[in-house]
Amino acid sequence: MTERTSGGLVGKLAGKVKESAGSLTGNDELAREGRLQQAQSEAEIEANRQAQEARQQEDQAELERERTETELERERLQTEVAEQERELRAERDRQEAEQRAQAEKQQAVAQAERERAARETAAEAAAQRAESERLEAAKQEIRLEQQARRAEANAEAIDPEEDR
C-alpha cells in the first residue's frame, strides 16, 4: 500500500491508525507504512517548527538590523544638527564680534573727532587770545607813543630848543 496521506498531526494520527491496524491484522507492511507515515509526519512537524523558528530568527535579525540602521541614522542626524548649531553659533559670534568692532571703531572715530574739535577750539581760543594780546599791545604802543609825544610837547613847551 503506497497511498499518500497528509502530513502533520493528521498524518501522524493516520500513521498511528495504520500501524495499529497492521499490528492487529498481522499485516507487517501496513504496520511498517504506519510507522513510516508517523516518522514522516514527525519530521514534517519538526521541519515546520524549525522553519518557523528560522523565520522568527530572520525576522528578529531584520528587526535588529532596522534598529541598528535607525540608531545610526538618528546619530547621524544628531551629529548633523549639532554641526549646524555649531555653525550658527560661530556665525552669530562672528557677527557679534563684527558689530562690537564696528561700534568700537565708531566710538574711536567719535572720540578722535571730539579731540580734534577740542584742539581746534583750543587753537581758535589761543588765536583769539593772541590777536587780543596783539591788539592790546598795539593799543599800548599807541598810548605810549601818544604819551611820548605829549611828554615831548611838554618838554618843548618848557625848554624849546632851537633847531634840533
State the average pLDDT for the chain: 90
DSSP per-residue letters across 71-83: HHHHHHHHHHHHH
Pick the closest to residue 38 from 64, 59, 18, 68 (CA basis): 18
The mean-pLDDT minimum among 17-26, 53-62, 78-87, 96-105 falls in 17-26
pLDDT at 34: 85
Q: Is the pLDDT of residue 84 over 90?
A: yes
% of the chain with per-residue pLDDT over 70: 94
pLDDT in tens, 32-41: 988 998 888 8
Q: What is the sign, positive or negative, of the torsion defined by CA atoms of 112, 113, 118, 120?
A: positive
pTM of the predicted model over 0.75:
no
